[in-house]
Amino acid sequence: MKKNISTNALRALFYEAITGPKPGLVDPIDNSSHPDMDIYMFIDSSISLQNYLQEAEKVGHNFQDSDLTKMFTKLREKGLIAEKEMAQATNGINTHKGAIFALGICTCAESYVKQNGGNVFDIIRQMTHGLVEHDFKNLNDNQKLTAGQKQFLKYGLGGARQEAEAGYPIVEDVALPFLKNAKGDKRTRILDTFMKIASLTADSTLIKRAKTTNVIEEVQRDANHYLELGGFANEDARIFLNDLNKKFAQHKWSLGGCADLLIITIFFGLESDYL
């Protein structure tokens, strides 16, 4: 198989979608928290992003200026087009908005690094320098706001933008080393990595669904408990994960941001032959 950067980005979308059970997310067996989506839609949505991912790779490959925020600006223009292509493939459902953002950044940065050298997470920090301030400086309550914008005004949380601007520390420092050292088949390693991510993330999709930030501590505790039980290789942990899946379905909680962090962890894992 030709495994160029954008192919690995597409593989990451598929690897994440087919892995289950993922509490709060769509997988082939269960979509309880997202009744407007199913796994077939995720296949269509992923394929609709193929062109964008190739463009993101090209932007990183060809960029020459020393100001990497300009590379991010170029990428964002392509990201807006990708959002429209996704909407066409899904009948307007938001399957991959966060992934267009996060995976686009990582694909572009990885491609830049292959051409110019450097640490990919440093490059991401340079690309997104000042992003939170830039995007949120003119917000006010009279506008129609996204969940992320509302949470910035209400709680001071930076969400997906903050993670990017910090250079995805959950991925660089924890999830990627965790995936590298994880044991078992791909499903086990990916699920355990997902729960590791859930044990650390303040997910704006989860806060939106639960309508409180208190949910973050509860979910982080549950994710840690699953890992303490030994992860997917251990029967008690599997039972606990199924119960957690039911709890998420009952409350209609989602982990959309953790999904994106998992997708980019898988992407870097594929790039580094960890998977």
Ligand X SMILES: CC(C)(COP(=O)(O)OP(=O)(O)OC[C@H]1O[C@@H](n2cnc3c(N)ncnc32)[C@H](O)[C@@H]1O)[C@@H](O)C(=O)NCCC(=O)NCCS
Ligand Y SMILES: Nc1ncnc2c1ncn2[C@@H]1O[C@H](COP(=O)(O)OP(=O)(O)OP(=O)(O)O)[C@@H](O)[C@H]1O
* 68/261 with CB nearer ligand Y: 261
* 59/261 with CB nearer ligand X: 261
Binding-site string for ligand Y from residue 187 to residue 216, where x marks contact by CB under 6 A and - marks none: ------------------x-----------
Residue whose C-beta lies closest to ligand Y: 256
Q: Tell me the C-alpha distance between 24 and 212, whole Å.
A: 16
* 63/248 with CB nearer ligand Y: 248
Binding-site string for ligand Y from residue 99 to residue 118, where x marks contact by CB under 6 A and - marks none: x-------------------
Of 72-80, 96-104, 150-158, 215-223, the window that binds ligand Y (rule: CB under 6 A) is 96-104
Q: Tell me the C-alpha distance between 42 and 27, whole Å.
A: 9
Structure tokens at 63: 């960029």
DSSP-assigned letter for residue 30: -
Residue 124 touches ligand Y, criterion: CB under 6 A: no
Helices in the chain by DSSP H: which ranges?
A: 5-18, 39-48, 50-62, 69-90, 97-116, 120-127, 131-136, 147-155, 159-165, 169, 176-181, 186-198, 204-210, 214-228, 235-251, 256-271
* 259/270 with CB nearer ligand Y: 259
Looking at residue 268, its amino acid is F
Alpha carbons within 13 angstroms on the beta-carbon side of residue 38 total: 2
Q: How many residues bind ligand X (CB under 6 A)?
A: 27
* 75/244 with CB nearer ligand X: 75
Residues 187-226 binding ligand X (CB under 6 A) are 201-205
* 34/238 with CB nearer ligand X: 34
Residue 161 touches ligand X, criterion: CB under 6 A: yes
Of 172-180, 211-219, 221-229, 252-260, the window that binds ligand Y (rule: CB under 6 A) is 252-260
CA distances, 9 to each of 27, 137, 163, 175, 234 (Å):
18, 32, 19, 17, 30
Q: Tell me the C-alpha distance between 16 and 29, whole Å.
A: 13
Q: Which residues bind ligand X (CB under 6 A)?
A: 76, 79-80, 83, 97-98, 100-102, 104, 146-149, 159-161, 163, 201-205, 256-257, 260-261
